[in-house]
Amino acid sequence: MENARSTNTQTNQHTSELGCLTPELNSRIQQIFSGQAKTAIALRKSSTEERIAKLKRLRSVIMDHQQAIIDAAQKDFGRSPAEVEFTELMPVIMEISDHCKHLKKWLKPRRAKMSAMMFGSSSYTQYEARGRCLIIAPWNYPVTLCLGPLVPAIACGNTVIIKTSEMAPNFSKVLVSIVNSCFDENEVAIIEGDASVASALLDLPFDHMFFTGAPNIGKIVMSAAAKHLSSVTLELGGKSPIIIDETADLELAARTIAWGKYINNGQTCIAPDHIYVHQSVMQDFTHAITNAMNEWYGEGMAAKTSQLARIINRRHTERVNGLLQDAKEHGAKVVYGGAVDLDTNFISPTLLSDIPDHARVMQEEIFGPLLPLISYNALNEVINKINSQPKPLALYIWSRNKNNADRIIAETTAGGTCVNHIAAHFLDQNLPFGGVNNSGIGSYHGEWGIRAFAHERAIVRSHYMTAKMFFPPYTPRIRKILGLVLKYI
């Protein structure tokens, strides 16, 4: 991308402007949190029509900021407009539209069947707002992963404080403008700053905390939530593997993987982290994916002129380059790419082979444009390797053999899985999106977002008090009735 060097300098300057927690900012945070207490109580009684109206206004304001979002993506990442529209705007607009269409149905009380012990009563469940919520958004998809969870939070009738990432400062400024154009801060407030600001927010007794980011930070968020017994939704990450068996459509697999991996230059929580390829098709697959990468990006430094995003900052560029150099020192081969320009935060799309298991690139989440290729003979080898690692956020299978795909799904665990596709489970609003254990706790999207930001309250209305037959004193007659009940229920 043009002006990459000046872009990175500008980003670093903006990052320092966001800064750490000051006494004035801490006081403002406390004031906002206190002010949202009364609002949270009032919002419980808000109608679905009022909430839908807020979501429609949010959609309108987001679209008014479309060019500002595209410009911010260029400044922070060097991302192309089409990629931004596809990955930042479309998912949020889809989420808003889905909520506007289905919210009345989702929030409608649901009648429960009468159980044997509850004769003479009626029971139902209804969703109620959790109350004051915290959303800590990451830097890699600032709009999608900030405003995406905000949609169900508003739909459920909560108040929200959002913490943006200081690592994408231009995006952060646009998000501040969007939120402040839509909401009073007693309902939705947005705070900028570094980790010290996040720590101050985590000290507050929120009713629910929603965090998207790395597993190690997720543990900090969960520990903070435990102090107040706050509920949490943790959208984390991990090393998401791909399995390509000997029956796979290699051409389609190669092009889809090259697309899914190098969106945002690999800085995606559900991006393929490494690929297990059956040895009989390794050569053909490698040829197919390098052809796709040559067509779209170009090899090495030639990729700098393609529509390829930059790494977010110098520190992360050095981190990914460290993984690359460590792999090479341990005997890994660079099959494709491997170009690095630290001054412009550029690392080219890179394929690696012959990587030993103890290399850092096989131990740490890559979150960048490196893609290890690992040959295998038998499917059980791959399944055993996957099961020996923390549970991934995504697992991808490329196979035309249904039995193979079904076996992998049955014998592994992951937050979500795609067969013959990449990242599609994130875009399907009729599916929950979330991780499991190390890759996350809880899920959202569509109705699952309602479940994340609302409490499902159980309600019983008694019309005829059958329980009084079991009131003291506990006579032989009561014991006889209980005996009959135990026998026939």
> pLDDT tens across 180-226, in order?
999 999 999 999 999 999 999 999 999 999 999 999 999 999 999 99
pLDDT of 366 reads 97
| One domain for residues 72 and 167 | yes
Is residue 23 assigned to a domain? yes
pLDDT of 467 reads 78
Is residue 284 assigned to a domain? yes
Query: How far is it, in rounded angstroms, from Cα 438 to Cα 390?
Result: 6
Is residue 468 assigned to a domain? no
Q: How many domains does the chain have?
A: 2
Asked if pLDDT for residue 227 goes beyond 90, the answer is yes
- Within 306-445, residue ranges assigned H as helices are 314-329, 379-387, 402-411, 424-427
| One domain for residues 330 and 423 | yes
| One domain for residues 164 and 131 | yes
Is residue 461 assigned to a domain? no
Strand-strand pairing, 433-434 and 416-419: unpaired
At 369, list the tokens: 């444009």
Confidence of residue 487 (pLDDT cuts 50, 70, 90): confident
pLDDT of 470 reads 80
Asked if pLDDT for residue 482 goes beyond 90, the answer is no
Average predicted confidence (pLDDT) for the chain: 93
pTM tops 0.85, yes or no: yes
Query: How far is it, in rounded angstroms, from Cα 43 to Cα 47?
Result: 9
Tell me the per-residue pLDDT of 304-340, one tens digit each, with 9 for 90 and over: 999 999 999 999 999 999 999 999 999 999 999 999 9
Indicate which CATH number applies to the domain containing 46: 3.40.605.10
Residues classed as catalytic: 235
- Are 137 and 153 contacting, i.e. CB atoms less than 8 angstroms apart? no
Burial classification of residue 452, based on how many CB atoms lie within 10 Å of its CB (0-12 exposed, 13-18 middle, 19 or more buried)? buried
Higher pLDDT, 453 or 120: 453
pLDDT of 469 reads 79
| One domain for residues 199 and 288 | no
pLDDT of 15 reads 39
| One domain for residues 160 and 253 | no
% residues pLDDT > 70 (the chain): 96
The phi, psi pair for 276, rounded to 5°, reads: -95, 120
Tell me the per-residue pLDDT of 252-287, one tens digit each, with 9 for 90 and over: 999 999 999 999 999 999 999 999 999 999 999 999
Tell me the per-residue pLDDT of 138-157, one tens digit each, with 9 for 90 and over: 999 999 999 999 999 999 99
**Owning domain of residue 171:** 4-236+443-455
| One domain for residues 223 and 270 | no
